Amino acid sequence: MVRAAVKAVTFDLWETLLFERDGDSLRRMNARCSSLARALKGLQVEVSKERVKLALDRTISVLVETWDENRDVSHRRQLELLLEYAAIPVQQLRGEWFNVLSRAYMSTLHEVPPYLNPEAPRVLKRLKSQGRRVGLICNTGLTPGAELRRFLEKHAVAGFFDVMVFSDETGVRKPDRRIFEEALRCLEVGACEVVHVGDNLRVDVWGAKNAGLRAAHFHSQEGRDRVAEADPRSLVSLSRSLGSSGLREVAADWVVGSLTELVEVLDGERVG
């Protein structure tokens, strides 16, 4: 049976295109709590960093329960939950309040930045030069898609993507097939014409194949926050554990240890 030509490649973001250093997740969390406490003080609300941390922990618990159903909430809803658990009237979240707190919530991505997979610019440019369409399908955490777009623009890679799909904007998360179908709709390609690349067997490999795409499992030890992985209470560990107990054995079409290896694999596939 002749396989369809590969017209498009979609990528996961975290730990595929964006890498972390050991301890980054904890440093970013602490920076976010400090930033929010300062922002609230500027809004004439005295709240300790510790109280913000407790409120954020409760917010994360709600998020994890939602994520376990492959659903997501908006950036605004995350801020509403945070205020609710900090015992601050949610109705305050309008106008200046929203702008100030949103900046404080998102700015920590730049205070404690991840770093771009060093191979990403060259590989993305290669794929575009081959006439393939390129997409991004990302499950967001605390940093919303709008800020991740700005981060990718800052690092001069946003222009390589024909479409970026973020779970906080669609309301559904990988492995739900609907988030893959949204990317396919925007790319104007069929599922069998796309290869999805990601590091997570459940959300990226099983999710992609369940939606009819081919899947390349990005299996690398580089760019992983091992401090967060070793802490079962970290957001990294909590999000990775979702649905893992019910994961059926799944096989990727390819396993690659680098983006360069991915290009070598795709070079053996026809371009649509």
Give the C-alpha distances (Å, rounded to integers) separating 102 from 105, 139, 142, 157, 175: 5, 19, 11, 24, 28
In a domain, 217, yes or no: yes
* Mean pLDDT, rounded, of the chain: 93
Half-sphere exposure of 185 (CA within 13 A, CB side): 7
pLDDT category of residue 240 using cuts at 50, 70 and 90: confident
- Both tokens assigned to 218: 């990005």
3-state DSSP assignment of residue 152: helix
Q: Look at residue 10 and give its three-state secondary structure.
A: strand
- Whether residue 2 lies inside any domain: the answer is no
Compute CA distances 88 → 43, 51, 52, 77, 78, whole Å.
Answer: 12, 11, 11, 14, 14
Q: Within this chain, do residues 253 and 154 fall inside the same structural domain, yes or no?
A: yes
Query: Among the three residues 92, 111, 130, which one is the final residue of a domain in this structure?
Result: 111
Instruction: Say yes or no to pLDDT of 22 above 60.
Output: yes
pLDDT score at 147? 98
pLDDT in tens, 59-107: 999 999 999 999 999 999 999 999 999 999 888 788 889 999 999 999 9
Q: Determine the structural domain holding residue 48 and report its residue range.
A: 24-111
What pLDDT is stored for residue 244 in this prediction?
Answer: 58
Q: Are residues 132 and 254 in the same domain?
A: yes
- Domain final residue pick, 93, 111, 129: 111
Indicate the number of domains in the chain: 2
pLDDT at residue 235 in the model = 87
Considering the domain architecture, whether residues 52 and 150 belong to the same structural domain is answered as no
Domain of 239, CATH number, reads 3.40.50.1000
**162 and 105 part of one domain:** no
Residue 76: its pLDDT value, please? 95
Q: Is the pLDDT of residue 191 over 60?
A: yes
Which long-range contacts does 72-76 make (Cβ < 8 Å, 24+ apart)? Answer: 72/139, 72/140, 72/167, 72/168, 72/170, 72/171, 72/172, 72/173, 73/168, 73/171, 74/144, 74/168, 74/169, 74/171, 75/102, 75/105, 75/106, 75/144, 75/146, 75/168
At residue 156, does pLDDT exceed 90?
A: yes
CA 11 to chain centre: 10
Task: Classify residue 147: in a domain, yes or no.
Answer: yes
- Do 133 and 221 belong to one domain? yes
Domain check: are 147 and 89 in the same one? no
- 135 and 15 inside one domain: yes
Residues 138, 107 share a domain: no
C-alpha–C-alpha distance, residues 213 and 243, integer Å: 20
- Tell me, yes or no, whether 85 and 152 share the same domain: no
The verdict on residue 255 lying in a domain is yes
Residue 34 has pLDDT above 90, yes or no: yes
In a domain, 1, yes or no: no
- On whether both 88 and 214 belong to a single domain, the answer is no
Q: What is the mean pLDDT of residues 184-202?
A: 97
Q: Which two tokens stand for residue 87?
A: 């015992």
Q: How far is the C-alpha of 72 from the C-alpha of 31, rounded, in Å?
A: 23
Task: Tell me, yes or no, whether 149 lies in a domain.
Answer: yes
With pLDDT > 90 as the criterion, what percentage of the chain qualifies? 85
Say yes or no to pLDDT of 224 above 70: yes
With 60 as the cut, is the pLDDT of residue 247 above it?
A: no
Q: Which SS3 state, helix, strand or coil, does residue 204 take?
A: helix
* Mean pLDDT in residue range 204-211: 97
Residues 147 and 223 in one domain: yes
Antiparallel, parallel or unpaired: β 18-19 and 8-11: unpaired
Mark which of 111, 133, 148 sits at the end of a domain. 111
Answer yes or no: is 203 within a domain. yes
Amino acid identity, residue 7?
K
What gap in Å lies between CA 150 and CA 158, rounded to an integer? 8
> 235 and 152 in one domain?
yes
Point out which residues pair with 256 in neighbouring strands: 218
Confidence of residue 267 (pLDDT cuts 50, 70, 90): confident
In this structure, the strands spanning 214-218 and 18-19 are unpaired
Question: Residue 138: helix, strand or coil by DSSP?
Answer: strand
Q: Domain for residue 272, yes or no?
A: no
* Sequence-ordered list of residues with C-beta below 8 angstroms from that of 45, at least 6 positions apart, any chain: 88
Of 94-103, 177-186, 225-234, give the range with the top mean pLDDT: 177-186
**Any idea what the Cα angle at residue 144 is, between residues 222 and 96, rounded to 5°?**
140
